[in-house]
Amino acid sequence: SWREAIDAGGVTPARVLGVAQASHALGDTQSAEEAFLQAAELDPDSARAALGLGQLYTDAGRFDEARPWLTRAVALEPANPDSKRELAIALGRAGDASAALELLKAAELTGGAAPELHSARAVILGASGDASGARASLRSAVELDPVDAVLRLELATAHELGGDLELHQREPGASP
C-alpha cells in the first residue's frame, strides 16, 4: 500500500502530497482524501495540500467541504490564480455565481487572462443557466489558446446544445 511505501522511505509532507496527487489522478478518491488530509496535518501551511483537498471535494460535489480548504489555499498563496479559480468553481457550482465571478476577476488581476479562467467562467455561467455567457467565455478561451482541442470541443458542444449547457473543468495543462 502507499502507506507502507511512504513509511519505508520516511513520512514527509512532500511524499504524502505526492501520493495524494497520484491517487487523485488515478481516481482513488479515498486514498487521495486520506493522503491530502495527512499532508495538511503534517504541513498546515501547505497551500498545495489545501488546494488538492479542495479540488477533490469539488470534483465529488462536496462543495461545503471544499470551500474551507480552497479558502485556506487562497489565504496561504494569495497570488496563486489556480486556487482562486478552483474556489470560484466550487462557489459557482454551489450556487453563488456572483461571488465566483468576482473571484475570477481577482484571479485575472493576479495572473492575467488565461484560457483556464475563461473556461472556469464558462463552467460557472453554465451552471447558473447563462448558456450565452458560457459560450462567450469559451470563445474567449479558444481565442487565447486556439490549438487547445478540449476547449474547441467544449465550444462546439456548447453551440450544439444551445441552452442546455453543462461543462466540465479540467486540470490546467492537461492534454485532451
> C-alpha 40: how far from its chain's center?
18
In eight-state DSSP terms, residue 113 is S
Query: In angstroms, rounded to a whole number, what is the distance separating the alpha carbons of residues 141 and 135?
Result: 10
In sequence order, the 6+-apart residues with CB closer than 8 A to the CB of 37 are 53
In eight-state DSSP terms, residue 24 is H
Ordered per-residue pLDDT tens for the chain, 176 residues: 566 666 676 778 888 999 999 999 999 999 999 999 999 999 999 999 999 999 999 999 999 999 999 999 999 999 888 899 999 999 998 899 999 999 998 888 877 778 889 889 998 998 888 888 988 998 999 998 888 888 888 888 877 766 444 444 444 444 33
Query: In angstroms, rounded to a whole number, what is the distance separating the alpha carbons of residues 46 and 44?
Result: 6
